[in-house]
Structure formats: C-alpha cells, structure tokens
C-alpha cells in the first residue's frame, strides 16, 4: 500500500474548452484546482504537488523531469468546443501520448478528454474515445478518481461523480495550485463552477452527458472565491454552467434570490476584485420567464464588471435545424431575449440603467455592463443552403433594431459519442465547408464590423489591457474577461505590461487602440496617425510643432476633437 504522504504528483494542464467550461490561458479551469484539492484531502502534502501547463512544458524542457519522476502523473484536458486561442495552445493527442510515455510512475487522464479525441482540436471532425496510452482514464470526475486512486494505494478506482460536500472541500484545499500557473497573479482568471448538466438535450452538446442540472449552494462558491483571493486572484468568471439565470432553481426557471446571494456574497469576500464575468445564459429562460429573468439580469449587471457577455446558444435560426436537433429556443424567442438583455444590462458605467441600451455620441466611454453574444453551430442535422440565409436574416434583424451584441461566435460541429450527432458525424460540416467560408466572411463584414463600431466607438476606453504578443510592427493585447476584445496598438511595446487603451478603429472582431491618455508631446508618429481624422500628414505636423502646453494648442481645424484621446503634459 502506497502511503499518500510519500507521493509526488505532477498535474499537467492540457487545457479544456467545453460548452460550459473554459480553461485556456489566461483562464484556469476548475480541473487542476479541484484535483489538487482532492489529492490534499486524500493525504498528499500540498508541497508534493507540482502543476505545469502544456505550454510550460513546451517552453522549458527541464520541466519534463517532473513528468518523468512523479509517482503519479495526472493529465487534465479535452476540447469539445474548438476555437481560436491567443493565450495558449491546447495539447494535441500526440503530445498527450508523449506524457504517458515519459512518465515513470502511474498515469491518470481525465477531464472532457473522456468524451473523445480527434486528430486535431478543430471543428468538422470525427472523434473517438481513446486512452492515449495512460494507465487509467477517469470516465467520471477526474478529481474523484484522483482521490480514490490515492486512497486505494494507486491500484485503481471506481468511476464516479463527486458530490457537493467533496467539491466544497476540494475547491478550497486546491486553491493553492494557482500560484504555480505561469500567468499568476496579474493575468489569470479563474473559471468558477455553479452547476453542471443541462435541462435540455441539444443533439451535439456534451453538457447533457453530465445529467440534469445540479447546483452548488451560493456559500460554497463564495467560499471558493475567498480561498482564491487569499492566493492573489482578483479575476473571476462564473462560466461553469449551462445557464447562469437558472442557477439555484429547478434547472429551468430563473431564481433572482439565488443570484443575489451568489453575486452579493462574492462581492463581500472579494471587494477589490477586478473582473467578475459570466458565460452561458439560455435565451429560452429569458423568453419563457421574462420578468424573473429581467430581475436576475439586473442583479448580475449591478454586481459584475463592464464588458460582460451572456453567450446565447441559438445554434441555428433555421426552424428545420432547430427541430431536427432538439434546439431549445426559437428564433423569435432568441430575438426577444436579446432585447431584454439589452434593456437590463446594456448600460455603461456612469449612466442611468433605465436608458439602456446606450450607444452613439452621448454614451459613456466604457463598454456596457452585460450584453448577449450569439453562438451559431454549422454541420448540424437538417442543415441546408437556406440555413445560412436564416442565420444572416436573424443577425440583420438584431442590428436593424438598434440592439447590441458583444460578439457572434460561428463554428463547425464536433461529433462525440453519447450525443445524437454521433450518428451523423461531421459529414454535413465537411460537405458544406465551401459554403461555410464565404458565409462566415459575410457575417464578419455585414454584422461584426458595424456592430463593433456601435458597441465601442472611437474614444471608448478599455482599462487594463494586458500586452501579449507582437505582430507586423504592432503590439496585441486583451483585457481579462469573457470574450475580450483583441486590441492592436501601433509599435512594439514591452510585453507583460498593462495599460489603458482608447479605441480608434475597428476590424471584424478586433480593434485598434492607442494608450490612454496619449501624450501629444511623447506620442510616436504611428500612434498619432491612427487617431480618427489625423492621418500621416497631420501627425507629422503635430510632431514637428511640439511641445504643447494643452491639447487646444494643436492646430487640427475645427472638425477634430483630440480631447477623447490625448493630453499634453509638460
């Protein structure tokens, strides 16, 4: 029998992306935190637990020694909703196999990888369940498997799901592991779980495989935030649930009182938090219980931080596809839900919430508190050429009504065993790829770009943009939060620093910005010329005629106002 106190354990985070769970940097999912807590609860000393991200192993070869020498290696990962990632690159199947081959000790694999593995982390592909050469694969909860495996002397475990009392302990006991994340503490956001499972059974989604919704009581989530705050975390997202509005109720109807207890409790234990966002809200909940949903949305918008996004799983605006895939919400219901979220959360800091949604010249220069985002999935059963027309028509209706969307997410389906789409596979997505590409570009040009200009016009300020990488002579960065805007800043600035940015121009899903406020006496020519109305020639004149004692000293004519962007310091 192996004594837990003598064990050395290495956790490798290959990152997760599920319908209701995200863990690609700068996010850290619940899996490594809860697994670390389960190990401690089973008797493994916290100082004997080492955590690495897959990117950390890629970047520093000596870290592989921890994989080799550990008594127990636990791999955590799995992509069931593929996307494009900036902060990290999820582990590919061959890399996961290499972990198993390198490890000298016992190996355990878990997370959404249990649902299946494809040839790559992308849409329109088939998947199958594989062990990837690991000794054990957790077909239940990997944290429960880790606890039982250690408790059984590394000889095995029975697949099971953990209960509320266990996750309450493990969430607090495993909070320490965040200190080993390479992004800690300034650029790390913790995904928080409020519930698992879903009341609906959409054909392609893996979330119903967790069963009907089960909720963590508000005080347990608040306790987890308290523990994470003690380890320097100040950014949080309530992202691990299928429907934030249904929290604490029967799994379908809104429960505003539970939301008040949850959000109010978080603010009480973490009064200085910098980010509090959410992810999923089911639009059918808003459409069927509009008044209770409105109260819940108003509570969220009161406690959250600006730029928050409620991801709506419309999936398709085509009624044929909706029926064939058991999609929960109709197009008209989703449109009404978009209206209600705009009215309840579409106000900006400093404004009267009753005037939401706000945009235009009179709007405050910050992002709105809470807006909907639309998810569209292609390759579903029943998809036809008209499907693309239905989706475009819906998006145009939203825009033409003067409503706001934070973003539109378009992807192709992945087919997993256990879902209805496993019978159809990726055949439809593959067949329609040629139509998918021009349609996606049409959405970017006709919806995304004008919507982004409405959402964040020139002069909108994005506080605390973290600079991540250089490309084409620019520095790119993002805020922490749900679906943050990618910001391009002229010139190559030191990476890792954080600065406030004022938006000056818009792409399809990203913006161009300049440091805010931009000092006219120090700004580069490249920074000055991107300010609306300046251009290269005027920027050159501004540089030549420096210094200035005030912004009004700059001769740019009566048609330009530089005050939203610049100052003139002496």
Give the C-alpha separation, 91 to 156, whole Å: 25
Count the Cβ atoms, other than its own, within 10 Å of residue 544: 7
Q: Which residue has the tokens 């390759």?
A: 379
Across the range 538-542, mean pLDDT stands at 93
- Closest to 71 (Cα-Cα) out of 99, 20, 105, 43: 105
326 exposed, middle or buried (CB, 10 Å; 0-12, 13-18, 19+)?
A: middle
Tens-digit pLDDT profile for residues 215-228: 999 999 999 999 99
Give the C-alpha separation, 355 to 81, whole Å: 36
Residue 256 pLDDT class (50, 70, 90 cuts):
very high
Across the range 219-245, mean pLDDT stands at 96
Give the C-alpha separation, 15 to 88, whole Å: 8
SS3 504: strand
| Helix (H) or strand (E) segment spanning residue 264 | helix 256-269
Give the C-alpha separation, 275 to 309, whole Å: 12
Task: Give the pLDDT confidence score for residue 418 in this predicted structure.
Answer: 63
Whether the Cβ atoms of residue 237 and residue 279 lie closer than 8 Å to each other: yes
Residue 1 pLDDT class (50, 70, 90 cuts):
low
504 exposed, middle or buried (CB, 10 Å; 0-12, 13-18, 19+)?
A: buried
The answer on pLDDT for 85 being more than 60 is: yes
Give the C-alpha separation, 377 to 424, whole Å: 14
The answer on pLDDT for 559 being more than 90 is: no
Across the range 125-132, mean pLDDT stands at 59
Share of the chain above pLDDT 90, in %: 78
Task: Give the pLDDT confidence score for residue 557 in this predicted structure.
Answer: 77
Copy the structure tokens of residue 180.
């080993």
Half-sphere exposure of 338 (CA within 13 A, CB side): 28
Q: How far is CA 172 from CA 50, 108, 147, 236, 384, in A?
A: 17, 22, 15, 15, 49
Count the Cβ atoms, other than its own, within 10 Å of residue 553: 12
Residue 126 pLDDT class (50, 70, 90 cuts):
very low
The answer on pLDDT for 116 being more than 80 is: no
SS3 447: helix
Give the C-alpha separation, 418 to 111, whole Å: 16
Task: Give the pLDDT confidence score for residue 128 in this predicted structure.
Answer: 58
Task: Give the pLDDT confidence score for residue 212 in this predicted structure.
Answer: 76
Task: Give the pLDDT confidence score for residue 205 in this predicted structure.
Answer: 65
Q: In whole numbers, what is the pLDDT of the chain averaged over residues?
A: 91
What are the chain's domains? 1-187 (3.40.50), 460-567 (1.10.150.320)
Q: Which residue has the tokens 């309530």?
A: 238
Q: What is the largest CA-CA distance in the chain?
A: 82
Copy the structure tokens of residue 540.
């050159």
Task: Give the pLDDT confidence score for residue 129 in this predicted structure.
Answer: 59
Count the Cβ atoms, other than its own, within 10 Å of residue 148: 20
Whether the Cβ atoms of residue 319 and residue 334 lie closer than 8 Å to each other: no
Give the C-alpha separation, 7 to 166, whole Å: 21
The answer on pLDDT for 124 being more than 60 is: no
Whether the Cβ atoms of residue 486 and residue 510 lie closer than 8 Å to each other: yes
Give the C-alpha separation, 476 to 496, whole Å: 11
- The full DSSP string for 82-133 is ----SS--PPPHHHHHHHHHH--SEEEEESGGGG-B-SSS-SSEE-B---TT
Task: Give the pLDDT confidence score for residue 313 in this predicted structure.
Answer: 87
> Angle 30-41/142-151 helices, nearest 10 degrees?
20
Task: Give the pLDDT confidence score for residue 213 in this predicted structure.
Answer: 76
Give the C-alpha separation, 21 to 317, whole Å: 24
Tens-digit pLDDT profile for residues 31-81: 999 999 999 999 999 999 999 999 999 999 999 999 999 999 999 999 887
> Angle 331-345/385-400 helices, nearest 10 degrees?
30
- Closest to 200 (Cα-Cα) out of 77, 315, 344, 320: 315
Copy the structure tokens of residue 547.
């210094």
Long-range contacts of 421-425 (CB under 8 A, 24+ apart): 421/203, 421/204, 421/325, 421/380, 421/381, 424/381, 425/126
Task: Give the pLDDT confidence score for residue 416 in this predicted structure.
Answer: 62
Count the Cβ atoms, other than its own, within 10 Å of residue 441: 12
Using alpha carbons only, what angle is made at residue 234 by residues 109 and 245, rounded to the nearest 5 degrees?
75
Give the C-alpha separation, 539 to 422, whole Å: 58
Task: Give the pLDDT confidence score for residue 122 in this predicted structure.
Answer: 47
Residue 127 pLDDT class (50, 70, 90 cuts):
very low
Tens-digit pLDDT profile for residues 284-321: 999 999 999 999 999 999 999 999 999 998 999 999 99
At a CB cut-off of 8 Å and minimum separation 6, what does 69 contact? 8, 104, 105
What are the φ and ψ backbone dihedral angles of 154, each rounded to 5 degrees? Answer: 65, 20
- The full DSSP string for 23-39 is -STTEE-HHHHHHHHHH
Residues, the chain: 570
What's the whole-model pTM score?
0.92
Residue 346 pLDDT class (50, 70, 90 cuts):
very high
Better pLDDT: 262 or 113 = 262
Across the range 487-501, mean pLDDT stands at 96
């Amino acid at each position: 029998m192996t004594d837990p106190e003598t064990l050395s354990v290495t956790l490798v985070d290959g990152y997760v992306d599920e319908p209701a769970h995200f863990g690609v940097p700068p996010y850290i999912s619940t899996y490594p935190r809860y697994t670390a807590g389960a190990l401690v609860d089973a008797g493994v000393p916290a100082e004997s637990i080492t955590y690495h991200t897959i990117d950390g192993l890629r970047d520093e070869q000596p870290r592989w020694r921890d994989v080799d020498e550990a008594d127990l290696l636990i791999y955590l990962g799995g992509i069931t909703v593929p996307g494009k990632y900036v902060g990290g690159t999820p582990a590919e199947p061959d890399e996961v196999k290499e972990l198993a081959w390198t490890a000298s000790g016992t190996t355990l694999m878990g997370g959404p990888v249990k649902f299946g593995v494809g040839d790559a982390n992308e849409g329109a592909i088939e998947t199958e369940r594989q062990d990837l050469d690991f000794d054990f694969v957790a077909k239940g909860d990997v944290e429960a498997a880790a606890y039982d495996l250690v408790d059984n002397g590394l000889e095995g475990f029975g697949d099971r799901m953990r209960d509320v009392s266990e996750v309450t302990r493990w969430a607090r006991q495993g909070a320490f592991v965040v200190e080993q994340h390479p992004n800690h503490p300034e650029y790390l956001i913790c995904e928080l779980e409020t519930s698992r499972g879903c009341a609906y059974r959409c054909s392609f989604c893996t979330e119903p495989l967790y069963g009907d919704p089960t909720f963590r009581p508000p005080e347990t989530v608040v306790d987890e935030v308290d523990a994470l705050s003690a380890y320097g975390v100040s950014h949080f997202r309530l992202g691990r649930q299928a429907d934030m509005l249904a929290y604490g109720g029967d799994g379908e109807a809104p429960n505003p009182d539970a939301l008040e207890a949850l959000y109010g409790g978080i603010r009480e234990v973490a009064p200085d938090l910098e980010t509090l966002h959410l992810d999923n809200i089911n639009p059918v909940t808003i459409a069927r219980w509009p008044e209770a949903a409105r109260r819940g949305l108003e509570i969220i918008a009161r406690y959250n931080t600006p730029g928050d996004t409620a991801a709506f799983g419309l999936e398709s605006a085509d009624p044929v596809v909706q029926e064939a895939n058991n999609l929960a919400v109709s197009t008209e219901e989703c449109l009404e839900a978009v209206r209600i979220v705009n009215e309840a959360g579409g106000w900006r800091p400093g404004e009267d919430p009753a005037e939401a949604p706000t945009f235009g010249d009179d709007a405050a220069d910050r992002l709105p508190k809470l807006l909907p985002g639309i998810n569209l999935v292609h390759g579903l059963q029943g998809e036809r050429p008209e499907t693309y027309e239905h989706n475009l028509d819906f998006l145009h209706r939203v825009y033409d009504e003067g409503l706001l969307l934070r973003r539109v997410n378009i992807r192709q389906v992945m087919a997993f065993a256990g879902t209805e789409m496993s019978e159809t596979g990726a055949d439809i997505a593959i067949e329609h790829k040629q139509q998918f590409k021009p349609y996606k570009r049409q959405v970017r040009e006709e919806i995304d770009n004008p919507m982004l200009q409405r959402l964040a016009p020139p002069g909108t300020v994005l506080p605390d943009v973290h600079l991540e990488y250089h490309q084409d002579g620019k520095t790119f960065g993002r805020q922490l939060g749900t679906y943050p805007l990618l910001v391009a800043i002229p010139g190559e600035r030191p990476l890792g620093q954080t600065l406030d940015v004022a938006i000056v121009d818009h792409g399809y899903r990203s913006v161009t910005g300049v440091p805010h406020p931009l000092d006219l006496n120090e700004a580069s020519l490249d920074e000055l010329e991107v300010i609306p109305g300046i251009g290269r020639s005027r920027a050159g004149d501004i540089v030549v005629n420096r210094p200035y004692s005030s912004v009004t000293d700059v001769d740019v004519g009566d048609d330009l106002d530089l005050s939203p962007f610049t100052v003139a310091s002496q």
